[in-house]
Chain A
């Protein structure tokens, strides 16, 4: 071997062995706030703030937000993903479970991976869609409708491993974005409306092997099983279908838990039905539960707790505390201590007619006669709740939580519920009011008190997530197809743009070469905006 060839080989080996410059290390994830040009996880950071530290787009120039590029998925399902951006590449999920990498400068597709989800795959209680991806190292992770967890090399979309995590034939599926932590991928499942027994899993990021599983419905002999009558725990629901939050210092995951099954007929499951409709704190290394807090014991309205828990460190009544805040589907806003799970406060933030109040332990005092019935029972909020999985955004400077809100009632019906594997296990449902009797809003709540600071009213109940930014603007959308920007201090509308399809996802922000962008999925496409040059930017409008 000549000296030159040897050198060449050595250089090649070095190239292969060296970590790529843009590796998304765990430390980069942990310090996502210091890396605002990227958007590295579903809710932006481990505290799930969905707050961009970029401030180029601000109250003064947001009115000049214009499309930079549009990517059309060419699919017919709903696109509900929050895109990730790292090192100039955007990663998105398309319905039902396809992943694509786009050039973040142009929106042009670099590669696409379709895991081929069979047509007969069940989706009981949710659309055939995928809401997001996780990234760690050079690998991206996502779940499929037929309940596989897949790891792909992010350069070309090549498969690293595929793990079947549950059986879709009984209703299990993955629609939520996994959460990548140090060496592990945390993934939740959907399927509560099929009467699955919920769980949260952790997988080794390198091998795809399961590290732990935490069941959201305790088995016989386990604490909490006595909150279920008979065998009802076996089909108890408690899906984990929305990405949770993580406190690396405490080593705790905060995961919201879904509704009990059957949804609207609770006769077969007397008791509180732990840990449905709860927030749980789990040890990230073992999956062991440190504490739980149940928002809605023995739920019969499908008011699951699958809303984003936001981690906030703040002075609460004179003491610095580690808090977790949560605008719940049941119309109340909650503040808890996230070290202990202690209930600190609940404030009603939307119309409700089911609870007299929340007592000093955080337990609702129910108004009699508000359960679903055969002839129908009118209750606020509606089945979809006062809010839902649509992400809120938290502005740490203003200490405001911007909540996508729904003002709507339902007439709730109760019917028989018979469990049959792989079929809907519901026991009732809702009749909705006329559209003109409903509306939506982005509500800015004081993070510590839940008091309303302002609201921006929308024609229809909210279905879109919210993004807040250091530029003082709040971005969200409507199911009619509007994307809009609000003043974070007043709620005044500063800009809107009709995207031609319902916005059923949450916006995110990133920057490339000094330009800040905002991206959002709407209809069947991904829309990306930047501020057009204007007078005050020294640009030329001609």
Chain B
């Protein structure tokens, strides 16, 4: 019988090396050509939400120090590949292994965007936020009513352009998850609210009083998803200065980790 020796071990090691995925190289070390290819793919598939150069828009700004869900390369590749369940981040659905890897390498190469220099006064913006009853629809750091999105880290996730637009022109940017619904019941009552759930036969919403409501569609006289009008439209009447202040305040909301400044 042949004696087991270092030769066998070396062979085993060589086999293991062969079997190991080529992905072992850190994304940060990717070559310029791969990063450029990643940027091309990013511009086509990712920039619609994450903005050109990853500065954020409808989707989070990617030019920040910590991508909290993907400090590891594998986690970042996994997110590009399969998206993030329970969020609006979809899996790509169409990229090959090389494209996924190069997009991830490009995202790693983005670095940290300088904090935006905003013209408004965040303190005045905070006052305005409280005065205009934003908190009757949004939660910031645990305070408020949860009808629209939680804004606790909106400054981290969204750029100022998006924040400004979402106040001025909500239908343009409002997330379909927070569509406003207007309905009329069989006994002629009108109910308006934010849709929280819907299937083929029923619809659920939070009404203007913040109450959960549920209806069978067949029992309604009318059911409308409001596209142009939104409850938020009533807040569009700000002066330029007020708008600047409000955006400046929202930009300071960077979640419990960063805390608001």
Q: Which residues of A contact B (CB under 8 A)?
A: 264, 374-376, 383, 413, 415-418, 420, 423-424, 426-432, 434-436, 457-460, 478, 480-482, 484, 493, 496, 498
Contact = CB atoms under 8 A, between A and B. Distances in A.
B179 interface: yes
Contact residues on B (Cβ < 8 Å of other chain), bracket: 20 to 34
A482 B92 contact: no
Nearest to A412: B94
Nearest to A457: B200
B114 interface: no
Given A374-B44, A493-B218, A459 B94 contact: no
Contacts of B218: 493
Contacts of A484: 200-201
Given A436-B225, A459-B198, A478-B200, A416 B45 contact: no
Interface stretch (B5-13, B95-103, B182-190, B253-261): B95-103
B93 interface: yes
A481 B199 contact: yes
A415 B98 CA distance: 11
Nearest to B91: A429
Contacts of B94: 264, 413, 415, 426, 428-430
Nearest to A262: B96
Interface in B201-220: 201-202, 218
Contact of A482 (B90, B176, B200): B200
B252 to A, nearest CB: 30
Contacts of A459: 198-200
19 contacts: A264-B94, A415-B96, A416-B98, A417-B96, A420-B97, A423-B97, A424-B97, A426-B94, A426-B96, A429-B94, A429-B95, A432-B90, A458-B200, A459-B200, A478-B199, A482-B199, A493-B201, A496-B200, A496-B201
A430 B93 CA distance: 7
Contacts of A374: 44
The winner among B98, B198, B200, B218 for most chain A CB atoms within 10 A is B200
A264 B96 CA distance: 12
A415 B99 contact: yes
A460 B95 CA distance: 26
A493 B95 CA distance: 41
Contacts of B201: 482, 484, 493, 496, 498
Contacts of A383: 93
B18 to A, nearest CB: 15
Contact of A429 (B93, B98, B198): B93
A264 B95 CA distance: 11
Contacts of B90: 432
B179 A415 contact: no
Contacts of A457: 200
A375 B40 CA distance: 10
A498 B199 contact: yes
B92 A429 contact: yes
A31 B99 CA distance: 53
A375 B199 CA distance: 34
Sort A-B residue pairs by CB-CB distance and give the 9 closest, nearest first: A429-B94, A480-B199, A429-B93, A459-B200, A458-B200, A496-B201, A478-B200, A482-B200, A434-B176
A375 B44 contact: yes
Contacts of B225: 436
Nearest to A430: B93
A225 B229 CA distance: 58
A374 B44 CA distance: 8
Given A432-B90, A459-B198, A496-B200, 15 more contacts: A375-B44, A376-B44, A413-B44, A415-B96, A424-B96, A424-B97, A427-B96, A430-B94, A436-B179, A457-B200, A458-B200, A482-B199, A482-B200, A493-B218, A496-B201
Given A424-B96, A436-B176, A493-B218, A431 B200 contact: no
A454 to B, nearest CB: 16
Contacts of B97: 420, 423-424
A137 to B, nearest CB: 42
A419 to B, nearest CB: 10
A460 B200 CA distance: 8
Nearest to B179: A436
A476 to B, nearest CB: 10
Nearest to A436: B176
Interface string B77-99: 00000000000001011111111
B180 to A, nearest CB: 12
B176 A435 contact: yes
A413 B95 CA distance: 9
Contacts of A434: 176
A328 B43 CA distance: 34
Nearest to B90: A432
Contacts of B199: 459, 478, 480-482, 498
A440 to B, nearest CB: 8
Contacts of A458: 200
Contacts of A420: 97
A413 B44 CA distance: 9
